[in-house]
Amino acid sequence: EAQVTQNPRYLITVTGKKLTVTCSQNMNHEYMSWYRQDPGLGLRQIYYSMNVEVTDKGDVPEGYKVSRKEKRNFPLILESPSPNQTSLYFCASSLRRPTNEKLFFGSGTQLSVL
Amino acid sequence: AQSVTQLDSQVPVFEEAPVELRCNYSSSVSVYLFWYVQYPNQGLQLLLKYLSGSTLVKGINGFEAEFNKSQTSFHLRKPSVHISDTAEYFCAVSVWHGSGGSNYKLTFGKGTLLTVNP
């Protein structure tokens, strides 16, 4: 089944403790992206990747890191999480450009930073 | 720069009533337009998209949207809603930069929560 898989589904952590949220897709998609969803603010893009070893900042990249060493994986890294990073995070992928193609979304990761 | 405005943050309706969710965009060049739906505790799914051609676009689950260039709008409609249509709906826009363009930017609106009551 074609899907985008994120783990974990729920995560509670403390300020400053490094964490990684994993994302994997099985559709051989070139494009992958991370979004955060906050009430009243909708979806905001954090980082995206056009292909292996090619990444770029979205609208809210501060405090986050990404890497794309393999086509199928696009982990999101929070080196030193802070409470303002408490949010619902989504990974998404598309075959090439999301600008004219369907984006496939993961089920989300609810992160709480205490 | 492109932007999208969803005029209503919440829309409550009764079952079997018609509904319209409003979306306006801002761009000085040609655009692609999308509606995505997010059911409770799930990721987003594509409902429909406008790339070119007919301005009336039909999507899944009986939804349709009309692209109106003069009013820069892309409103979503359904003639008769069901309880199962309760979800958050997101309008999104991207700008066409030509066949050799390098645009990867898809901008989402803030969402409209549609609540269908019995």
Check residue A79 and give its pLDDT: 95
State which residues of chain B have pLDDT below 70: 96-103
Check residue A13 and give its pLDDT: 95
Check residue B102 and give its pLDDT: 56
Closest approach of A25 to chain B, Cα-based (Å): 14
Q: Does the structure show a pLDDT above 90 at A11?
A: yes
Q: CB atoms < 10 A from the CB of B4, how many?
A: 25
Sort B77 into a burial class: Cβ within 10 Å, 0-12 / 13-18 / 19+. Answer: middle
Check residue B76 and give its pLDDT: 98
Inter-residue contact A52 to A68 (CB < 8 Å): yes
Residue from A43, A56, A101, A110 whose CB has the most chain B CBs within 10 Å, to mutate: A43
Using CB atoms, pick whichever of B42, B103, B108 lies closest to residue A42: B108
Question: Residue B25: its chain A contacts at CB < 8 A?
Answer: none
The owner of tokens 């390098």 is B102
Going by pLDDT thresholds of 50, 70 and 90, the confidence category of residue A51 is very high
Does residue A61 have a cis peptide bond before it, meaning omega lies within 30 degrees of 0?
Answer: no
Chain A's closest residue to B102, CA to CA, is A97
Check residue B60 and give its pLDDT: 93
Q: Write out the two tokens for A20.
A: 């990684």
Using CB atoms, pick whichever of A43, A98, A107 lies closest to residue B104: A98
Q: Does the structure show a pLDDT above 90 at A49?
A: yes
